[in-house]
Structures are given as structure tokens and as C-alpha cells.
Amino acid sequence: MKPDFKLEKTREFGELISDTFNFAKLFHKKLWQVFLKFVIPFLVPILLLSFYSQYSATSSFDFDFTDPSGFESFTNEAFDFSLVGVNLIIAVLSIVLFIILELSVLGAIKSYKETGSFSMEEISSVIKTQFGNALGMSILLGLILVIGFIVCVLPGIYFAVVFSIAFPLLVFKNMSVGEIINECFRLVKNNWWATFGAIFIFAIIISLIGLIFSLPAGIYLWLSGLAEGDFSSFSSTDKIVLASINTVSTFLQYVLNILAIVLSALIYFNLNEKKYGESDLEEINQIGDL
């Protein structure tokens, strides 16, 4: 099957963003299948633990500030060690899920690039062979970003833009971590501001969409009176409803992350074409073979 979407080409600032949505729109059914097969098994435990964590946390809302025993109860529940343990588990599972999501979506794009279709076997192979490398790379790059933001915010922002194509390099070029870091700097060189601009504008768009997802929780808090500090009327039903709304919002945020991964892939293809022009060389070779 001949591909309907050209991945390897140079794109202007606006094209990177518009083509991200075009790709998602064109292949939303296939991407959803990938999400269900590879991501949902890891996402469901996080959602269940998240629901429990949020329900337990809201249990501390129904207290009386004027009652010393009530305030003590609030403190004990807010800093419950079992709840801390659950949140630590959620954090660890979220790292695993982040890697699985990146590898599955990029594996799907790689399969489409090479065959014109979305092969579940190819995606599964990418996840199995690259998970260890992706975990090590995520830890290393994460430490670099943390140090960058601690030392000064600007280096952190700079490195975040440079490393935005790290996962695409891992999946499409199968490089080592050291090679990926070097290639990130090589490709982004002289294109940092354009890459930053695309990421920044896209982040604003995604944040606005994410804000829509979070509105139901805010509306419910307002209707329940909690937004005005009226904790006394916050019932068990309110806790269940609010935790459910927030859990659904978390699910939608993960679905939304697919777009960010597609953007990182298109940024990589754009920078790679500007640097090496590989697709142009392939087209010339194909003409020569006629």
C-alpha cells in the first residue's frame, strides 16, 4: 500500500503543528488500536491506583478547622504512609507507561514509514528490544534536565528542546545513548529556535485542550461548595464522583500525549531532512533505477 502521508520531508513552523493533527486525524483508528493493545494494560493499574489515591486524599476534606481533633485527623490522613506508598507506585508505573507510550506510537510510525501499514508485530518488537535502552536513556536525560533547571532555568529549557528528538532517534536510527545525545545536538544546531517555537505553540494548544478536560472537576467542586471552603457538605458520593472525574481526565491526558509524540517524530524527520536530505536521495535513486 502506498503511504498517504509523507513523513520524511522538511516542514515549516506551522506545518509541523498542522501535520501533527493531520496525521492523528488520518490514522486515528490505527493509533487507537495501538493504544488499546500496548498502552491500556499499563494504564489501567495507574488509573485504579490514581482513583484510590484521590478518593483517599479527599477523605481529609470533611473536617472542622475549629476542632483540634479534626485538624489532627486531617493531618494524619493527608500524610498517611500507605497513601504515600501508593503514590510512589504510581510514579514508578508512570515512568514505565511513559516509555511504553513513546515506543508504541513511534514504533507505529516506524512501521508505517517502512511498510505503509501499522504492524502490531513490528511495534511489539520495538517495545521489547528498546525498552531497556529507553529506560536508561530516560533516567540519564532526566538527570541532565533536572540539573539544568536547578542550576538555571534557561539551560533546562535548552536541553529539553534538544532532547525532544531523543526517542525518535532511538526508534528510527537504533542508536546508543551516547550517539543519540550527540545526534540531538547535531540536528538541532542552527534550528533550536524554530524547534522551540513549534514545541512552545503546540504546548499552548495542548494545555488549552487539557484545561477543557479539567473543567468538569472544577465545576463539580464549585457545585459541591468545596471551592468556597464548605468542607462539611463533602459526602462519600462527592468523593467518588470527584475521583472518577479526575481519573477520566488523567486517561484523556494520556491519549492527548499521542499528539506530542507524533510532533516529536515530525520534528525529527524535519531536522533530519534539513541535515541529510535522505528522502531526496532515495527519490533520486528510485528515478535512476527506472
Is the predicted pLDDT of residue 185 greater than 70, yes or no?
yes
- Does residue 183 form part of some domain? no
- Does residue 39 form part of some domain? yes
How many domains does the chain contain in total? 1
Smallest CA-to-CA distance from 16 within 161, 278, 201 is with 201
- Does residue 261 form part of some domain? yes
- Does residue 7 form part of some domain? no
- Does residue 230 form part of some domain? yes
- Does residue 175 form part of some domain? no
Q: What is the 3-state secondary structure (H, E, C) of 144-183?
A: HHHHHHHHCHHHHHHHHHHHHHHHHHHHHHCCCHHHHHHH
pLDDT confidence bin for 81, thresholds 50/70/90 = low
Spatial contact of 104 and 119, defined as CB atoms under 8 Å apart: no
- Does residue 168 form part of some domain? no
Q: Supply the range of the domain harboring residue 38.
A: 15-117+191-284
- The model's pTM is 0.85
pLDDT per residue as tens digits for the range 224-275? 665 555 555 566 777 788 888 888 888 998 999 999 999 999 999 999 999 8
- Does residue 95 form part of some domain? yes
DSSP sequence for 84-139: HHHHHHHHHHHHHHHHHHHHHHHHHHHHHHHHSS--HHHHHHHHHHHHHHHHHHHH
Spatial separation of the C-alpha atoms in residues 180 and 174, rounded to whole Å:
9
